[in-house]
A and B are shown apart, each in its own frame.
Chain A
């Protein structure tokens, strides 16, 4: 029952009464068109018992990347009596931009007919879920409406945009004993010459160092090559409330998340073992794994990741470092708060090589600082405090990248991880 019916009902009743009171037949006659109009509405209005609608939703992709277009189609079939006016509507969801079509569709369905609500949306990172499509069935004038939700479930997962890093030689301090691409500083099978040792029974003859053997009669020597292995890498992405730094529409967490996704993709593409931790409102954990399945697992988590909304983990010191393999390379992506500094000595004490990528919240929010002298002084003090903290971390042997998020990250990571071994040598 809509307010249109009320308007017409009250108006026609008023005219009839006014006609009787003033004894003017014309007034009563004016109510007749209104009553005929209402009568049409009543005759054509649907009854719930006769409405039989089924809906099916389909999306052209189930998973896509940030910014891609997704076409959503909801097909509604009428298996009951004729429907004079059907209005289909879908609820807009946060982060959804409709680029083609509309979230509403009107149709008139005869028995057995089908109509569809089709629209294309451009999505930001996240998970989009629909459980039903909202349908309003009414007479042609919209006087009597029946509302129902037709089950039509679907889900689209929008993964974060991954910026592919160009290849750079990763040089972690420690490697896992599985064949890979990283020189392990151990003799074995590989391509780079490593050294010469005495021949052991079983060594292939093609590895014999004939020159040295010629110099030492009755003794055989075998050439060794540097073993190439994979790295064991743990990534910690800070999703606590403190990382939710915003400047207008831009969010620092989105930059950190995009960096994490790119690093995960880069490490896994080269066959390394990667584990993932995300402390937020709760701890999200992905156990160590390899390959595309692991990448898919982590990207799925990153797709739905949101910065924490409540006071969760007060310090990164509470993250379970035991998840990471012994002496793994740990990459921490966090803007850092003072309480987090304790985690770095612990990491080093456990023998982990660590890299801190710290998106700079001060330069990110520079535009929101007051432009007066006090504001400038406050920004300067905050910068000094941050620089001192990062210097203290670097003195523990942790590689630190003070990342201004609008600068490209790959060259900084290449310098920090690729050159580490060269310096050590």
Chain B
């Protein structure tokens, strides 16, 4: 078994386990099922030619995690579960032809760095409580979404301005 495959399976198992345990602690057995069910998608990925499987997996795992958050499951398990699901999604999207090349190591390094930092920031956020009034919070979120959309738009325009490759 290749290192990539081993990491992939480890992340998948850990992600599922985190969410299942989080649901199990609060006694929400249907939640455990909700956390385990999306595991099917990564396992059949590659066996059937469907490009939507990784996306469906990520969305369903995050939906399960969100349900866990709302129903009062411990966020210290939900957040790592969601982050590991993101890692599984990334590895599902990774081209298999990349295996063994130098860029695979670079990718793994960037991925682990991004996910660790993301998890740290999220866990840190759990410890910080900002007594902001609801309207200000709403405005901040709208501002953040606006910023993301601006970045998105600028990148889209950048790719639209880019001259098309010759002969294609």
Contact = CB atoms under 8 A, between A and B. Distances in A.
Of all A-B residue pairs in the complex, the 3 with the closest CB atoms, nearest first, are A33-B118, A36-B118, A108-B103
Interface size class of B (residues with CB under 8 A): 35 or more
A85 B93 CA distance: 14
5 contacts: A11-B59, A23-B134, A26-B69, A107-B101, A140-B107
Contacts of A132: 165-167
Interface of A: 1, 3-5, 7, 9, 11-13, 15-20, 22-30, 32-40, 42, 44-45, 48, 84-87, 102, 104-108, 131-132, 134, 140-142, 144, 146-149
A32 B138 CA distance: 16
Interface in B101-150: 101-104, 106-107, 110-111, 113-115, 117-119, 121-122, 125-126, 129, 134, 137-138, 141, 144-145, 148
A27 B103 contact: no
B77 to A, nearest CB: 11
Contacts of A146: 159, 162
A124 B147 CA distance: 55
Interface in B23-64: 55, 58-59, 62
B155 interface: yes
B123 to A, nearest CB: 8
B5 interface: no
Contacts of A16: 141, 144-145
Nearest to B155: A1
B122 A33 contact: yes
Most chain A C-beta atoms within 10 Å of own C-beta, residue among B98, B103, B104, B126? B103
A25 B75 CA distance: 10
B78 interface: yes
Contact of B168 (A9, A27, A86, A149): A149
A27 B110 contact: no
Contacts of A27: 66, 69-70
A108 B106 contact: yes
Given A16-B144, A29-B122, A106-B97, 14 more contacts: A26-B69, A26-B78, A30-B69, A32-B122, A33-B86, A33-B119, A40-B110, A45-B155, A85-B107, A104-B97, A134-B165, A140-B110, A147-B165, A148-B165
A273 to B, nearest CB: 42
Interface of B: 55, 58-59, 62, 65-66, 69-70, 75, 78-79, 82-83, 86, 90, 93-95, 97-98, 101-104, 106-107, 110-111, 113-115, 117-119, 121-122, 125-126, 129, 134, 137-138, 141, 144-145, 148, 151-152, 155-156, 158-159, 162, 165-168
A3 B114 CA distance: 19
Contacts of B167: 131-132, 149
A22 B70 CA distance: 8
B145 A17 contact: yes
Given A1-B156, A106-B101, A140-B103, A19 B141 contact: yes
Contacts of A85: 103, 106-107
A3 B118 CA distance: 21
A18 B145 CA distance: 12
A149 B167 CA distance: 8
A86 B98 CA distance: 10
Contact of A18 (B66, B97, B134, B162): B66
A24 B78 CA distance: 14
B68 to A, nearest CB: 9
A318 B151 CA distance: 67
Contacts of A106: 95, 97-98, 101, 103-104
A29 B103 contact: no
Contacts of B86: 33-34, 37
Contacts of B98: 106
B148 A141 contact: no
A8 to B, nearest CB: 8
A189 B156 CA distance: 84
Contacts of B110: 40, 44, 84, 140-141
A141 B90 contact: yes
Contact of A24 (B70, B117, B122, B148): B70
Given A108-B102, A149-B166, A20 B141 contact: yes
A1 B78 CA distance: 30
Contact of A1 (B65, B83, B159): B159
A7 B56 CA distance: 10
B21 to A, nearest CB: 16
A116 B57 CA distance: 35
Nearest to A23: B134
B165 A149 contact: yes
Contacts of A107: 101-103
A30 B81 CA distance: 10
Contacts of A4: 93
A86 B107 CA distance: 12
Contact of A26 (B58, B75, B121, B141): B75
A124 B165 CA distance: 29
A319 B56 CA distance: 64
